[in-house]
């Protein structure tokens, strides 16, 4: 963990300064357990306008509001439904975003003009301390330019957003590595709008939930999560052959694959991950590293599409199309 500040990078002992920046309408990137977020005071329309501009984010793509505790949710949402209360009791703090009817006083720019708002309590000591110190609800999309992979280190944020932000709190790499599960909690059963680390299996009552509704979670409509190099998905048994074929076409190849698959000959980058959780944790960093390595193509071994594997495959498919 960094303990000094370099340019806009703040060490975790400088959370007072980061909190003060947030209160004054600044843009502060900070770590969560999922990915780094780019925070701004959710109730400050000028700060939120700057946030959308810094990301190049479409104005109709709503932001997730982060709070330190469920007791901070009233005033952001109109009503905490019984379902939301149950899910929050089980999963907060954690990688679960609950979509509820927005409080009429929450600026509509924060909700992308929608009547609902997503809210979550992140499970990261730095994030929660920062939220407590700031004392304001903090809207925080992933701290990347729109369409780019989400950042899982402070360096990713710095490389992608640089001086478009006022500060970056460096809390080291993110543990989960993929964005939170987004669930519509307005009704009687949770409806998954974006897959994440809280899985359908976890949300047992959601077993019969409808297929994710792309129209309902606006962000999932946009091209997303993609590095500048091409991304291909291959079955683990086929990765080596696929890499060899690409290499004969004169392409520089990077690979993310299980450790029992031999390294593809001539690969400019080889990263290992042996299950869905490891793939999730390393996926975005591998996107960034593949770009830096000058690879033309990144081949990623598919994971079993169950549990967290669903979120991994969801992000991979978006990155590869």
Residues near Mg ion (CB under 5 A) are 142
Q: Does 190 sit near ligand TXA (CB under 6 A)? A: no
Rounded Cα distance between 73 and 82, Å, is 14
Helix (H) or strand (E) holding 104: none
Q: Does 99 sit near ligand TXA (CB under 6 A)? A: yes
- 205-236 b/e with 16+ CB inside 10 Å = b? ebeebeebeeebbbbbeeebbbbebbbbbbee
Q: Which does 181 bind (CB under 5 to 8 A by kind): ligand TXA, Mg ion, none?
A: none
Residue with smaller CB distance to Mg ion, 110 or 142: 142
Q: How many other C-beta atoms can be found within 10 angstroms of the C-beta atom of residue 260?
A: 8
Contact stretch for ligand TXA (CB under 6 A) within 95-103, 248-256, 258-266, 304-312: 95-103
Phi-psi group of 66: left, alpha or beta (phi > 0 → left; psi -120 to 50 → alpha; rest → beta): beta
Q: Cβ distance 293 to 266 under 8 Å? A: no
Q: Does 219 sit near ligand TXA (CB under 6 A)? A: yes
Contact stretch for ligand TXA (CB under 6 A) within 16-24, 69-77, 93-101, 262-270: 93-101
Q: Does 142 sit near ligand TXA (CB under 6 A)? A: yes
| Least distance between ligand TXA and beta carbon 62 (Å) | 3
Q: Which does 193 bind (CB under 5 to 8 A by kind): ligand TXA, Mg ion, none?
A: ligand TXA
- Angstrom CA distances, 77 to 119, 136, 137, 211, stand at 8, 14, 12, 25
Q: Does 35 sit near ligand TXA (CB under 6 A)? A: yes
Q: Cβ distance 1 to 143 under 8 Å? A: no
Residues that bind ligand TXA (CB under 6 A): 32, 34-35, 37, 61-64, 95, 97, 99, 111, 114, 116-118, 122, 140-142, 179-180, 182, 193-194, 216-220
């Amino acid at each position: 963990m960094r303990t000094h500040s370099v340019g806009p990078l703040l060490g975790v002992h400088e959370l007072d300064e980061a909190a003060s920046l947030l209160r004054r309408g600044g843009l502060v990137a900070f770590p969560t357990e999922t990915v780094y977020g780019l925070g701004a005071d959710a109730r400050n329309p000028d700060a939120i306008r700057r946030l959308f501009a810094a990301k190049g984010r479409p104005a109709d793509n709503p932001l997730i509001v982060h709070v330190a505790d469920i007791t901070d949710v009233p005033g952001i949402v109109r009503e905490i439904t019984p379902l939301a209360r149950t899910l929050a009791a089980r999963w907060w703090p954690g990688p679960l975003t609950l979509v509820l009817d927005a409080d009429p006083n929450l600026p509509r720019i924060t909700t992308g003009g929608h009547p609902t708002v997503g809210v979550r309590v992140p499970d990261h000591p730095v994030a929660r301390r920062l939220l407590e110190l700031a004392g304001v609800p903090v809207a925080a999309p992933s701290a990347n330019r729109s369409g780019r992979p989400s950042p899982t280190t402070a360096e990713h944020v710095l490389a992608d957003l640089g001086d478009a932000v006022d500060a970056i709190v460096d809390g080291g790499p993110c543990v989960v590595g993929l964005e939170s599960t987004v669930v519509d909690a307005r009704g009687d059963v949770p409806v998954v709008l974006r897959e994440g680390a809280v899985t359908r299996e976890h949300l047992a009552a959601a077993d019969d939930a409808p297929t994710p509704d792309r129209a309902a979670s606006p962000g999932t409509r946009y091209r997303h999560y993609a590095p500048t190099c091409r991304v291909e998905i291959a079955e683990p048994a086929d990765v080596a052959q696929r890499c060899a074929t690409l290499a004969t076409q004169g392409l520089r190849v990077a690979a993310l694959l299980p450790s029992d698959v031999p390294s593809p000959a001539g690969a400019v980058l080889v990263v290992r991950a042996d299950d869905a959780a490891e793939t999730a944790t390393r996926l975005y960093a591998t996107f960034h590293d593949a770009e830096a390595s000058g690879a033309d193509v990144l081949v990623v071994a598919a994971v079993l599409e169950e549990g967290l594997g669903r979120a991994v495959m969801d992000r991979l498919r978006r990155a590869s199309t």
